[in-house]
């Protein structure tokens, strides 16, 4: 099984706050897993971003995951991809990128999680936990009790897939979420919008690891 960090930081398109700037601050804060999520640029701009971000991640020993854009595999120093399409064929994706590349997927139901595990995903982002301004969608939110039930169901099936809660999570939610048995947390808005980015990230890290 590949190593999966317990706290995933996700970049986003933010006015006057570049993805590069977000990554630099996250790495300074101690981030060891960054998901570059940019859905607004053409391939040449994406690669320019990714190459610069990869240099920062290399300097800090940070894993770089790219959201979607799996066609860019092999064109930059990318360690993995997170695929948001819940209907994506992970068996085909795995054949496409090989076994060394990390593949994560998004899920909103236990059935989604089971399929991801069976098709070879390395981890799953399970949410949304709450309404998210960062990534609006129409999927139903997942309550704490539902996270707990999902983990119990996976354990019964002896499925060992790291599950990360995602979507509108605040620092105050972390302790209760981790008590459900999930593996970790993915965070974006609560850090990006904080008055002190670095302190906010470190507070999340301590809460997740605690």
* pLDDT average, residue stretch 201-210: 95
Q: What's the CA gap between 208 and 171, in Å, rounded? A: 9
> Measured between alpha carbons, how far is residue 130 from residues 23, 83, 193 in Å?
24, 20, 16
Q: What is the DSSP letter of 140?
A: P
The pLDDT tens digits for 104-138 are: 999 999 999 999 999 999 999 999 998 766 666 67
Provide the pLDDT for residue 135: 60
Going 119 to 157 to 160 to 171, the CA torsion angle's sign is positive
Count of beta carbons in the 10 Å neighbourhood of residue 197: 18
Provide the pLDDT for residue 139: 87
Q: What's the CA gap between 39 and 112, in Å, rounded? A: 23
Provide the pLDDT for residue 131: 76
Whether 17 contacts 192, CB under 8 Å = yes
The pLDDT tens digits for 136-193 are: 667 899 999 999 999 999 999 999 999 999 999 999 999 999 999 999 999 999 999 9
Count of beta carbons in the 10 Å neighbourhood of residue 184: 23
Provide the pLDDT for residue 138: 78
Provide the pLDDT for residue 58: 97
The pLDDT tens digits for 30-44 are: 999 999 999 999 999
Q: Indicate if the pLDDT at residue 12 is higher than 80.
A: yes
Provide the pLDDT for residue 210: 80
Residue 194, Ramachandran bin (φ over 0: left; ψ between -120 and 50: alpha; else beta): beta
* H or E, element range at 166: none
């Amino acid at each position: 099984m590949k190593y999966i960090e317990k706290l995933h930081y996700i970049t986003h398109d933010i006015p006057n706050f570049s993805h590069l700037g977000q990554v630099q601050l996250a790495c300074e804060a101690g981030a060891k897993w960054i998901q570059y999520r940019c859905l607004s640029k053409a391939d040449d701009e994406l690669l320019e971003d990714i190459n610069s971000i990869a240099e920062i991640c290399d300097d800090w020993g940070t894993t770089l995951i790219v959201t979607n854009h799996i066609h860019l595999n092999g064109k930059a120093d990318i360690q993995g991809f997170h695929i948001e399409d819940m209907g994506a064929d992970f068996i085909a994706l795995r054949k496409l990128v090989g076994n060394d590349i990390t593949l994560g997927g998004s899920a909103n139901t236990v059935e989604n999680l089971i399929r991801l595990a069976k098709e070879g995903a390395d981890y799953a982002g399970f949410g949304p936990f709450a309404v998210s301004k960062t990534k609006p969608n129409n999927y139903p939110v997942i309550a704490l009790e539902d996270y707990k039930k999902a983990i119990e169901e996976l354990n019964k099936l002896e499925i060992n897939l790291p599950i990360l809660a995602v979507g509108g999570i605040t620092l105050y939610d972390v302790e209760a979420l981790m008590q459900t048995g999930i593996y970790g947390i993915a965070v974006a808005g609560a850090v990006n919008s904080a008055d002190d980015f670095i302190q906010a990230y470190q507070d999340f890290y301590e809460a997740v690891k605690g």
